[in-house]
Amino acid sequence: QYIKHVTVASQLARCRMSEIELQILHEGFEIAEFGDWEEGPCCELRDNRVNLAGSDPFVCRWRFETVQLPSMADAQTAAGEAAMDGNQEAQQGLMSMGLLGPILPMVQNLLEGAIRKVSVQVVWEDGPREESIEVNQYLTNPNQGDLGNMLRGNTAAEAQEEIQNSTGGGGGGGGGGGGN
């Protein structure tokens, strides 16, 4: 019975994740600006069939989270510790970080604006115990955030100015708004 429930729960998690992907594709990341769990139907097609047949023991929960990339200081600390252990790849990474240091905040901002972590939980009762599985996926949408502004047609100068303004770097007057 447990294996049957896990199998069904896995399929329901896949279905809910696919529905979320489609919703984000149509609505953008605006729906994904919260970190609290939402609860609802796991799969619209299945829910219609289950409602006709009776009760459903499965409940789905999902949430969206903005991805937070490690800071330059955190990355340098981790690479430094690995390099002290004799890891040559880490030593090369430290040298690369020195070169990337000036642009890393800009790249971080672009990536954080274009990536969301989506978690889906499927929960069911198995006798007196609550059982669950959780699936996590990272969805990317390059049309979101500062990267999206660049891709929508801002000139290179407008995009650079907008990125600098959003990361706190550089002065300059107003950002250039891109056309849709």
Residue range 6-42, pLDDT digits in tens:
999 999 999 999 998 888 888 877 765 567 888 988 8
The pTM (predicted TM-score) of the whole model is 0.64
Amino acid at residue number 173: G
For residue 34, give every residue at least 6 positions away whose Cβ sits within 8 Å of its Cβ, in sequence order, or none: 63, 64
Are residues 159 and 175 in contact, defined by beta-carbon separation less than 8 angstroms?
no
User: 149: closest CA among 160, 134, 137?
Assistant: 160
Q: Please, where are the H alpha helices in the chain?
A: 2-27, 44-53, 72-84, 88-100, 104-114, 145-151, 156-167
Reported as a single tens digit per residue, the pLDDT across 83-119 is: 677 777 766 666 666 666 677 777 788 888 888 899 9
Reported as a single tens digit per residue, the pLDDT across 134-174 is: 999 998 877 766 666 666 665 555 655 655 555 444 433 33
| Backbone phi and psi for residue 126, each to the nearest 5 degrees, phi listed first | -125, 90
| Backbone phi and psi for residue 102, each to the nearest 5 degrees, phi listed first | -65, -30
